[in-house]
């Protein structure tokens, strides 16, 4: 094994094939950084999802005196016995972890806090407008919301049930869609990268046909004939990966910059980034190595 000789040949190949190699590097870099962004997205969504999972609640709103809803209007505001009935129903459910009663006064205080910067809303909302409610914590906020809602909805004294998870589900659907779009584009680009690797190696094999013809003639092993091409493809892939890593570090910084818009932590750890970067490196090596190898089998027959 003559490492110096092999790398000398690789250097010659890369130089002669400069434009193709450059195109290959750019496509690998872009496809890997898009794929990496997609993977970071996945991680981000997972993080926020688990963060929210423990905080999501179901609000069971009770009928109040001013409630215009039909069945509330018929029954009138919730009575004390109806209220304790609802509470015990909720507590009997296996999915329910805890139930907290929020009075109309507390709801008003909360609204005042929420709307403190919006005087119009603040003036509009009066004590007694907002209904009392049970704030229900469940074991699994998303899966348990439907059975718990079903158990109390329609009971006398219950006006409606608000599900935090339903709002978040839409939010997640949005994030998931964005993530899928990024990954689909990344996959299309990876296919382009594979074709480019195949073409680059083919061109390289054509450029060096004299050398390889002589190598075969004097009895160089397949391994020796193919190695420079293989290394060439791998080096191009690795350079593309390095660029992608820089772009991904930038993307992480960008995602972290979104922190200011969220009242909860959304930052990804450096560990997440390293993981994604390693995954993309393996993909780059596998992609370039396998494609080069298969192309060579086709074009460098002994």
- Residue ranges binding other proteins (CB under 8 A): 1-2, 5, 12, 210-211, 213-222, 224-225, 302
Question: Distance (Å, rounded) from C-alpha 96 to C-alpha 56?
Answer: 12
List b or e across 227-261, with b for residues whose CB sees 16 or more CB atoms inside 10 angstroms: bbbbbbbbbbbbbbbbbbbebbeebbeebeeeeee
- What DSSP character marks residue 162? E
Contact 178, 30 (CB under 8 A): no
Q: Which of 59, 147, 67, 38 is nearest to 102 (CA)?
A: 59
Q: Measured at the alpha carbon of residue 30, what is the angle toward residues 248 and 260, in degrees to the nearest 5? A: 35
- Is residue 165 a contact partner of residue 55, using CB atoms and an 8 Å limit? no
- β-strand pairing of 96-102 with 158-163: unpaired
Strand partners, 57: 137
Cα–Cα nearest to 4, from 196, 294, 238, 228: 228
Q: Which residues contact 76 (CB under 8 A, 6 or more apart)?
A: 63, 65
Could you tell me which of 167, 162, 112 has the C-alpha nearest to residue 134?
162
Tell me the C-alpha distance between 261 and 150, whole Å.
Answer: 35
């Amino acid at each position: 094994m003559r490492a110096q000789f092999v790398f000398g040949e690789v250097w010659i190949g890369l130089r002669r094939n400069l434009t193709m190699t450059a195109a290959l590097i750019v496509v690998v870099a872009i496809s890997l950084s898009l794929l990496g962004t997609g993977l970071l997205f996945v991680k981000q969504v997972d993080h926020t999802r688990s963060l929210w999972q423990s905080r999501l609640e179901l609000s069971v709103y009770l009928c109040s005196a001013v409630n215009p809803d039909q069945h509330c209007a018929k029954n009138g505001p919730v009575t004390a016995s109806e209220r304790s009935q609802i509470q015990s129903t909720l507590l009997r459910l296996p999915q329910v972890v805890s139930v907290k009663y929020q009075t109309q006064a507390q709801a008003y205080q909360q609204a005042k806090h929420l709307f403190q910067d919006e005087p119009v809303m603040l003036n509009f909302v009066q004590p007694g407008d907002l209904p009392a409610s049970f704030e229900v914590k469940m074991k699994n906020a998303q899966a348990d919301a439907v059975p718990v809602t079903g158990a109390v909805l329609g009971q006398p004294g219950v006006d409606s049930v608000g599900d935090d998870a339903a709002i978040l589900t839409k939010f997640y659907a949005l994030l998931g869609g964005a993530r899928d779009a990024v990954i689909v584009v990344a996959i299309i680009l990876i296919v382009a990268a594979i074709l480019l690797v195949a073409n680059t190696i083919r061109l390289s094999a054509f450029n060096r046909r004299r050398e390889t013809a002589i190598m075969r003639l004097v009895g160089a092993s397949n391994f020796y004939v193919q190695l420079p091409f293989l290394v060439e493809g791998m080096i191009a892939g690795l350079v593309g990966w390095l660029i992608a890593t820089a772009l991904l570090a930038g993307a992480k910084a960008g995602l972290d910059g979104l922190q200011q818009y969220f009242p909860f932590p959304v930052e990804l750890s450096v560990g997440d980034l390293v993981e994604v970067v390693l995954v993309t490196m393996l993909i780059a090596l596998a992609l370039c190595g396998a494609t080069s190898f298969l192309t060579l089998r086709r074009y460098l027959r002994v």
